[in-house]
Copies of this chain bind each other. A is one copy, B any other.
Amino acid sequence: MPNPPIVIDVPFRVRYAETDAQQIVHHSSYVIYFEEARSEYIRQRGISYAEMEKVGYFMVVTDITIRYHQAARYDNLLMVRVWIEEQRSRSITFGYEVLNAETSEKLATGTSKHLFVNHDGSVVKIPETWHNWIS
């Protein structure tokens, strides 16, 4: 992991379908924002996750943590900041911060940990090509 880590900012406009009867963004939606933010991170670092699956590597999620600070609402413009929190030979942990893009208010923070598996579902080392762009 570089020091400081590379941080990618990914904007999201809150969708109506992501809200709930409390008139705020449903807490499960952040899991999806995290996922798309790390997809964009990977895309910007030179290899798309779609390509990765095509060559037989799959990232599976082993842990999710989210702390919710403030609610977001329909039509809000959010900024999700994503970086690599920790990297090991067989796992990778992403860190996230969700901000209101207009007020810079912090809405949520979290992490997701992943293993790499092959087509058989066996855990494998992180592929070399990935190793390069990560470091």
Across the interface, do A35 and B21 meet the contact criterion of CB distance under 8 Å?
Answer: no
With a CB–CB cut-off of 8 A, which chain B residues contact A53?
21, 74
Number of interface residues, chain A, beta carbon within 8 A: 36
Across the interface, do B61 and A64 meet the contact criterion of CB distance under 8 Å?
Answer: no
Q: In the complex, what distance in Å separates the CA atom of A20 from the CA atom of B21?
A: 5
Interface string of A29-72 (1 = CB under 8 A from B): 00110011001000000001110010000101111111110010
Interface string of A70-85 (1 = CB under 8 A from B): 0101110000000000
State whether A68 and B62 are in contact (beta carbons under 8 Å apart), knowing that A19-B20, A27-B31 are contacts in the complex. Answer: yes
**How far does the Cβ of A90 sit from chain B's closest Cβ, in whole Å?**
15
In the complex, 24 of the A-B residue pairs with CB atoms within 8 angstroms, ordered by the A residue number, are A13-B36, A16-B36, A16-B39, A17-B20, A17-B31, A17-B32, A17-B35, A19-B21, A20-B21, A21-B53, A21-B73, A22-B58, A27-B64, A28-B31, A49-B74, A50-B73, A61-B68, A62-B67, A62-B68, A63-B65, A64-B64, A64-B65, A65-B65, A65-B66
| Chain A residues near B (Cβ < 8 Å) | 13, 15-17, 19-24, 26-28, 31-32, 35-36, 39, 48-50, 53, 58, 60-68, 71, 73-75
